Amino acid sequence: MAHSVFLPIEIACLALLAWIVLAFLGLACIRQPRIILNVIFPAGAAISLVIAVVGFMALTLQAQTIILPLGLPNLPFHLRLDNLSGVFLTLLGGVSFAVSIFSCGYFRNYNGPKLALVALQYHTFLASMALVLLADDAYLFMVAWGAMAVASYFLVTTEHQVPQNRSAGFIYLLTAHLGAIAILFSFGVIQGGHGEYTFDALRQAPLTPLWSTVAFLLAFFGFGAKAGMLPLHIWLPEAHPAAPSPVSALMSGVMIKTAIYGMIRVIYDLLGVIQWQWGMVVLTVGAATALFGILFALTQNDLKRLLAYSSVENIGIILIGLGLSMVFMGMGHPTLGVLGLIAALYHTINHGIYKALLFLGAGAILRSSGMRNLNQMGGFIRHMPKIALFMLVGVLSISALPPLNGFASEWLIFQTTLQAPALQSGVLRSLVPVTAAILALVGALTATCFVKVFGIAFLGQMRNPDLKEIHDARFTETIGMAWLAISCVVLGLLPVFVIHLLNNVSLSITGFGLPSDAVDSNWIWLIPTSAARASYSPIIFFAVVISAVLITIFLVHRLYHGRLRRGPAWDCGYPEQTPRMQDSSDAFAQAIRRIFGPVFKATRHFPSPDDTAPRFSVTVEDKHWAGLYLRIARLTTFVSNQLGVVQQGRIHVYLLYSLVTLIALLIFVQ
């Protein structure tokens, strides 16, 4: 290639720089909110497209590295663009393009200073996420990771006047820091005492199996805290409702995926030799996370909280894919392991896109009606048909209905679990299908959950007839959501292209690829292992569905009588009916709340018989709060109080501490 043309990695660096420049331009335009909305955010979206293109190009290219003379003396920043970072950069670029465009309209009510700060933090957030994906040494990785956490913390606390938002931000920051410390330790273990922190050196550092297990556990904990895996998920349902909707979309769509990126990078790339026991840990945690996440999503009334719990569930599904892959790799079946890895990556991309779409939809509803509580919504399809259409696409995708993208990746994960008979160990052979069963249960519950979302919010009648000023999505909001909705459809219809590209990733980091049947398959038929076992063609499926619908319409309208009559619905003999009598969100989830009773901590409020304005309410709490976190908090307070004895407030005592320490150290070095 000619030298006058920039390498993709150089373009990526320039794009990063451009985001940072935009961030500060946004701050400079503190008095001109219109410029921020009409110039800065669209420019950011254009850069997103560049990043997406660079990432897409990287999927088929060799890895490229670059060393930037920044950072500390003798510790320059190493950057690397390879297939794996390409996947996540494409996701980052694609999702942030939609979110930036959406933001032009969404933030229109913000005043100057607030908007300027959001523009600053938003673009810094984007740049730091891209930097996390490009980092090629532990030092730069941690710097970018920290910048990402801080930028998103400030975005979460945009509405800092509300006390809940401040505490949500605090919980988020706390979890992020705990995770970051674990990741730092993990890198420290991996480097094995050589003091070299470039990823190349980390790859080559020899580790005993024990230490590499320690490194794995630390990395799993650290990245799991960011991703929202089971006991560490508590920040998600707090932070997502607090943040402005485009920020939630980015955090759920892309940021928690950087944790998945980190896991894959550390486990597959840096550690390299995978032990199957690790896979079982990931698989178990993933299954628990998925089941727990969707059960809690089902019982939520706050739409954004519901979506946050659903993100927890999807992270669980991704972890199931990764865990399966690690089990197969560790047991010496790399080809099957590759399938799990590809399925996990595919699901990561898909979830990033449809969850961003759903969060943007939730934001559009919030912006136009001011509502987040599902119990108050209803009949919105007549007032916001465009939002309803896009939400429908998102809801179908997340419920894993063919031919949309959610189905393709979940089907691949199922196919991976069905390879369990290949395993030698009888225990594993029987445990892996259990995860398949959990996955199936989770799939059904997800569908229930999103039937509830769409049915309660958009169908039926308006619960609050006084609400007049409901409008549909504005132009920019429509473009943002349409982009994501189209991506959902395209990714669902062309899974073969996607897995061919992801196969490159797997080849470059594990050295193994899919079996020849899968690689040679044509673009219509998706074949995960061999044509004899399973195959799926979304396009044929789609064509059949469309033609069935068209034929039915044709038959009904042309051959049948074709007459149309609109009349009042039958009222079952009760003439006095109000919209409040509709099935509510609480009512919809009631059965699930009963069946899975022990999981929830539900407190119900029954009105007394003589109450003139009776209201029934139910609140569902996360048992992890009382069972785990409050205990840790109490223990911390207790230990702190005990340690507080050390603080005497007397200078002499403090000096004595210094003297004793000094003498102890002197004895030690002697």
Instruction: Tell me how far, at minimum, the Cβ of 658 lies from another protein, in Å.
Output: 7
Closer to another protein by Cβ: residue 561 or 650: 650
We find the least distance from the C-beta atom of residue 641 to another protein, in angstroms, to be 11
Query: Minimum distance from CB of 163 to another protein (Å)?
Result: 24
Total interface residues for another protein by CB under 8 A: 14
Complex with another protein: residue 632 or 643, whichever CB lies closer: 643
User: Interaction with another protein in 279-318: which residues (CB under 8 A)?
Assistant: none
Residue 253, helix vs strand vs coil: helix
- By beta-carbon proximity to another protein, the closer residue of 440 and 662 is 662
Angle at 386 between CA 358 and CA 393, to 5 degrees: 45
Instruction: Please report how close the Cβ of residue 653 comes to another protein at its closest, in angstroms.
Output: 8
CB of 642 to another protein, least distance (A): 15
Q: CB–CB of 296/620 below 8 Å?
A: yes
Name 339's Cβ contacts closer than 8 Å, sequence gap at least 6.
325, 328, 412, 415, 416, 419, 514, 528, 529
Question: What is the smallest separation between the CB atom of 639 and another protein, expressed in angstroms?
Answer: 17
Q: Residue 236 in contact with residue 295, Cβ under 8 Å? A: no
**Contacts by 451-455 with C-beta closer than 8 Å and gap 24+?**
451/395, 451/399, 452/298, 452/374, 452/585, 452/588, 452/589, 453/303, 453/306, 453/374, 453/391, 453/395, 454/391, 454/392, 454/395, 455/583, 455/588
CB of 115 closer than 8 Å to CB of 37: yes
Which positions from 626 to 655 touch another protein by CB under 8 A, shown as an x/- string?
Answer: ---------------------xxxxxx--x
| Cβ 86 vs Cβ 64: under 8 Å | no
**Interacting stretch for another protein, rule CB under 8 A, among 95-103, 213-221, 561-569, 659-667?**
659-667
What is the three-class DSSP state of 79? strand
Part in contact with another protein (CB under 8 A); list of ranges 228-236, 408-416, 613-621, 661-669: 661-669
- Here the tokens at position 308 are 């946050």
String of contacts with another protein for each residue 353-392, x by CB under 8 A: ----------------------------------------
CB of residue 212 vs another protein: minimum separation in angstroms?
A: 40
Cβ atoms of 458 and 450 within 8 Å: the answer is no
Residues 432/417, Cβ–Cβ less than 8 Å:
yes
3-state helix, strand, coil in the chain (%, to 5): 75, 5, 20
Is the CB of 17 or the CB of 662 nearer to another protein? 662
> 195, 567, 666, 668: which one contacts another protein (CB under 8 A)?
666
Site for another protein in 520-559 (CB under 8 A): none
CB nearer to another protein: give 615 or 652: 652
The least distance separating another protein from the CB of residue 662, rounded to whole angstroms, comes to 7
**Residue from 543, 635, 662, 664 in contact with another protein (CB under 8 A):** 662
Residue 174 Cβ vs another protein, minimum distance, rounded to whole Å: 22
Instruction: Identify the CA nearest to 193 among candidates 177, 213, 215.
Output: 215
Stretch that binds another protein, among 205-213, 326-334, 630-638, 657-665 (CB under 8 A): 657-665
The structure tokens 């991996």 sit at 190
Nearer to another protein, 497 or 657 (CB): 657
Question: Is 591 or 653 the residue whose CB approaches another protein more closely?
Answer: 653
Among 544, 656, 661, 664, binds another protein (CB under 8 A): 656
Between 612 and 658, name the residue whose CB sits nearer to another protein.
658
Considering the complex, state which of residue 639 and residue 656 has its C-beta at the smaller distance from another protein.
656
Return contacts of 38-44, CB within 8 angstroms, 24+ apart: 38/104, 40/119, 40/123, 41/100, 41/101, 41/103, 41/104, 41/107, 41/119, 42/100, 42/101, 42/104, 43/18, 44/19, 44/96, 44/100, 44/122, 44/123, 44/126
Contact flags string 589-628 toward another protein, x per CB under 8 A: ----------------------------------------
Q: Does 665 bind another protein (CB under 8 A)?
A: no
H-run or E-run covering 66? strand 64-72
Q: C-beta of 661: minimal distance to another protein in Å?
A: 11
Nearer of residues 497 and 654 to another protein, judged by Cβ: 654
Instruction: Determine the longest span between alpha carbons in the chain, in angstroms.
Output: 103
Coil, strand, or helix at residue 133? helix
CA nearest to 103, candidates 517, 402, 481, 601: 481
68 vs 656, which CB is nearer to another protein? 656
Q: How is 262-320 classified by DSSP, letter by letter? A: HHHIIIIIII----HHHHHHHHHHHHHHHHHHHHHHHT--BHHHHHHHHHHHHHHHHHH
Judge contact between 189 and 214, C-beta under 8 A: yes
* Smallest separation, CB 262 to another protein (Å): 39
CB of 656 to another protein, least distance (A): 5
Query: Least distance from C-beta 650 to another protein, angstroms?
Result: 6
The encoded tokens of residue 338 equal 């590759």
Q: For binding to another protein (CB under 8 A), which residues are involved?
A: 647-652, 655-656, 658-659, 662-663, 666, 670
